[in-house]
Chains A and B, each alone.
Chain A
Amino acid sequence: MPRVKVQRKSTAIDMTAMCDVAFLLLTFFILTAKPRTEDPVPVDIPASSITQPIPDDNVLMLTVAEQKVFFTVDGNDIRKQTLNQMGDKYGIKFTVEEQTKFSGTPIFGVPMNQLKQFLQLDAAQKKEYKQPGIPNDTTANNELADWIREARKADVALHNKALRVSIKGDNKEEYPTIKKVIGILQRQEVNKFSLITTIRTAPKTN
């Protein structure tokens, strides 16, 4: 009697379906991913029960932490336009290269006179650089108010939309700093703005 030969099965698995799923998921994550802008200072945002998400575009965000204020505005074109208007106002001429660099800078917090120097740095140096925050004294040297005003003007000029202002504050930030920022907004008659919060996870104990 001949020996029954055991049919050897192929060890290869059909990977096609797995590959399909993997790439589908990959596409989804790539499309939904928004590059996270690294904050120059750690910001621990407060929790609340609000469930309304922050709008995707057309947002001007003021990050407030460690008594410093940082400025973020969405859209490369708006950033560029804002920079040019600020340059006109302060009599600083920005080169095309500097304009391009600025439009790729999502968040910054340097006074006008240090801005050129700041734009020269590369990404790693920017991280190291201790940004002093945008001057926001209530008296003469109020660059923050100018930045906000020019950004709003730029958004109206380019997109004919009213910029939404939001404040992203640190939990431990003392109220006077917040008050100053709110005061600046109120003087420009921005009476409606948003505070950025996260969703509350654990029930509050205190």
Chain B
Amino acid sequence: MAELDTSSGGGKKGGKVRSKKASTRVDLTAMVDLAFLLITFFMLTTTLSKPKAMDVIMPDKDEKTKEQEPMAASRSMTILLGSNNKLEWFIGEPGKSQPTTEGYGKDGLRKTLVEKGKEIQASTGKFMFVLIKPSDKSNYKNLVDVLDEMKITNVTSYAIVDILPSEIDLLKRDGNY
């Protein structure tokens, strides 16, 4: 794309030698090429979707004081995370009520949380408390999924707790360990 020289022309026969006026226009093509190349590079290397941070607050684990406040079993729900993306949940104390095996997601855990939350609210007048107990066979994704469900279903009181051997037995019995 060469610039056409339109400034000169004529005046060949004149006696005076006129100084040729140089064009002030700079050819910007190469500069634009370079700029767009760099834009493309930076666009492709920047991560547009910034990772999100999910805040987790763990219960204060004081190794000296063993006593813990008792909690009404009637309004606690325990979720056991097993292997193969399966979980089991039950209301109340372990062994007293039959655990239900379920999957994660919209039709599984989320539905249960909403239903049980309402039931407990209706029967006791207080909010539901959820204990999340990941077993050694569960993976990190399962934990994040459950925590996410807590947020989606507006369960504000929940805790990640270590699993008990009797609860591992429950998982084993149902083939989820």
**Chain A residues close to B by CB (< 8 Å):** 8, 10-12, 15-16, 18-19, 22-23, 25-26, 29-30, 32-34, 36, 45-46, 48-55, 64, 166, 168-176, 178-179, 182, 185-187, 189, 191-199, 203-206
Contact = CB atoms under 8 A, between A and B. Distances in A.
Given A12-B3, A29-B42, A170-B140, A50 B35 contact: no
A171 B42 contact: no
Contacts of B106: 203-204
Contact of B141 (A171, A182, A193): A171
Residue of B46, B105, B106 ringed by the most chain A CB atoms within 10 A = B46
B39 A26 contact: yes
A176 B143 CA distance: 12
Contacts of B63: 187
5 contacts: A49-B148, A173-B140, A195-B53, A199-B52, A206-B108
Interface in B51-96: 51-61, 63, 81, 85
Residue of B27, B31, B140, B144 ringed by the most chain A CB atoms within 10 A = B140
Nearest to B103: A206
Residue of B50, B58, B135 ringed by the most chain A CB atoms within 10 A = B58
B134 A175 contact: yes
Nearest to B135: A175
A156 B49 CA distance: 30
Nearest to B134: A175
A22 B143 CA distance: 45
B39 A197 contact: no
B42 A26 contact: yes
Contacts of B148: 48-50, 197
Contact of B51 (A11, A64, A197): A197
B1 interface: yes
A33 B46 contact: yes
Interface string B1-13: 1111010000000
B177 interface: no
Contact of B45 (A33, A179, A206): A33
A8 B108 CA distance: 74
A196 B53 contact: yes
Interface in B116-169: 134-145, 147-148, 151-152, 160, 162
A197 B144 contact: yes
Interface string B21-52: 00001011101100110110011011101111
Given A36-B47, A53-B50, A175-B136, 16 more contacts: A10-B3, A12-B1, A18-B32, A29-B43, A33-B46, A45-B51, A46-B140, A48-B52, A48-B145, A50-B53, A53-B53, A54-B51, A192-B58, A195-B56, A195-B147, A199-B49
Nearest to A16: B28
A26 B152 CA distance: 39
B54 A48 contact: yes
B51 A29 contact: no
B53 A55 contact: yes
Contact of A10 (B4, B50, B55, B137): B4
B104 A186 contact: no
B140 A171 contact: yes
